[in-house]
Amino acid sequence: MATAILTGLFGLLGVLIGALLTPWMNRRAEERHDFESAREAWLLLRADADVALSVAKDRLTKGTWPIVAHQDWSSVWRSSRGSLVRHVDEQSFRAVATAFARMDRLESAVNTPRDPNKRALSEQDREFLTEMSGLLESTIDTLNKPVTRKAPSAS
C-alpha cells in the first residue's frame, strides 16, 4: 500500500513539474524560432537592398528605364516587420523602415512597362534615383549590423 501511494505521489509530482516546465519550454522554442526568422529576414533585406542599389545605379549610368522588369524588393519587409520589431533596435528598425517605405516607389518606377522610345530618364527621375541610392547605401550600412537578441521584456 505504501508503495502504491509513493508511486502515485511521484507520478503526481512528475505531472506538476511537466505542467510547469512545458509552457516555459514552448515559449523559449517560439522565441528562438522568432529570432531566427528575424535574422533570416535581416539578411534577405540586405540582399534586396543590394540589388535595388545596383539597379538604381545601373539606371543612372545607362540614363534609361528598362523596357520591362519585375523586381520585388519590398515583400520580405512587408512579411517580416513584426518579427524584426521584436529583435532589432529602434533606430535600426526606423532606418530600414524608411528605406523600404520608399522601395515601393522604386519598384513601381523600374517595373512600369515603357515604350522603347520613351525610356530616357528625366531630371526628376535622376534626382529620385540619386536620392534612393544614398538612402539605400545608408540602409545597407544599417543592415550590415547583426541582429542580436533583445533582453526579454517583463510581461
Give the pLDDT confidence of 53-79 residue by residue, as tens digits. Answer: 999 999 999 999 988 789 999 899 999
Range of the domain at 79: 36-143
Residue 67 maps to a domain: yes
pLDDT of residue 113: 87
Q: What is the pTM of this model?
A: 0.79
Residue 18 maps to a domain: no
Residue 5 maps to a domain: no
Residue 83 maps to a domain: yes
Distances (CA, A) of 23 to 29, 33, 144: 10, 15, 35
- Count of domains forming the chain: 1
Residue 52 maps to a domain: yes
